[in-house]
Amino acid sequence: MTEDSARCPLLVLWDVDHTLIENSGVSKETYAAAFGLLTGREAELRARTDGRTDPVIMADLVERHGLTVTAEYQERFGEVLAAALSSRADRLREVGFALPGAREAIAALSAQEGVIQSVVTGNIRANAFTKVATFDLHHGLDFEVGGYGSDDHIRANLVGIARERASAKYGVWLDAGNTVVIGDTPRDVQAGRLGGAYVVAVASGSDGIERLRAEEPDVVLPDLADTAAVVAAVRAVRQVTGS
C-alpha cells in the first residue's frame, strides 16, 4: 500500500456461498456427513442453512434429530465439518462452479490502491478456504483477516472480528466508513448493517433484487458479471462516507 492508501484503506468482505461460488448442494451433503461423523447416525433431515453460521446449523440439525447439543459435540463441530467437506472437494469441483464475474471482480478490486479483501461467512475457516480455493478464487483474498462461523455464532459479529484482524495485521484504521460487505441474502445485508458496514447486495442466490432491496442495502446488483459495476459499487462507499 502507498502512504495515502494506508491512511484511507478499504476492507472488502465477501460472502462465499451463492455470492462467489455455487456449491450445488454439496454444502447440504457436508452437513449430513458431518452429522454422521459426529453422532454415528445417518441424518434423516436436511440442514437448514439460510445464511446462518456453521455451528448454529449443526446445533439445529442435532436438536431436530432429538439429540442434546453437548459440549463435546460443540467442540467437534469444526473437526467433523472440515473432514466432511475435504472428502467432497472433488465432488464440489465437479458439480459446483465459480459464479460469473467473481474472479474478475476480485482481480479488479485487488488492482485498486488500498483495498484489502477477505471473506465474512458462516462457514468455518477451513471450509471457507476449501470452497473458494477449489475454484481458484483465493488469489487476492487474505484469509487471515476474515470473519468465520467458527469465530462467533452471531453473524453480525463476524464483521467486527474481520475488521479488527485486518486493522491489526495491516496497521490501519478500519471502521464503518471503510468496510464493505458483499453478500446475496437478507441475512448478509442485516449482518453487514449490524456489523457497521457499507453493504452491497448481489441477487445471485435465491433472493431476488426486490427482496434484497427491502433490507435497505446501499447498493443492489443483479450479479457480479459487470466488473465495472462491482468496482463502482464498492468505491461508492467513499462518496457516501467521505472517507
The radius of gyration of the chain's CA atoms, rounded to the nearest angstrom, is 18
Give the HSE-up count for residue 83: Cα atoms under 13 Å, Cβ half-sphere. 12
Give pLDDT, residue 7: 53
The DSSP symbol for 144 reads: G
Give the distance from CA 12 to its chain's centroid. Answer: 11
pLDDT digits (tens, 9 = 90+) for 50-87: 778 999 999 999 999 999 999 999 999 999 999 999 99
The DSSP symbol for 178 reads: G
pLDDT digits (tens, 9 = 90+) for 158-190: 999 999 999 999 999 998 889 999 999 999 999
Q: What share of the chain is helix, strand, coil (3-state, %, to 5)?
A: 50, 10, 40
pLDDT digits (tens, 9 = 90+) for 183-215: 999 999 999 999 999 999 999 999 999 999 999
Structure confidence at residue 2 as a pLDDT band (50, 70, 90): very low
Percent of the chain with pLDDT over 70: 94
Structure confidence at residue 97 as a pLDDT band (50, 70, 90): very high
Give pLDDT, residue 5: 42
Residue 6 pLDDT > 60, yes or no?
A: no
pTM, full prediction: 0.93
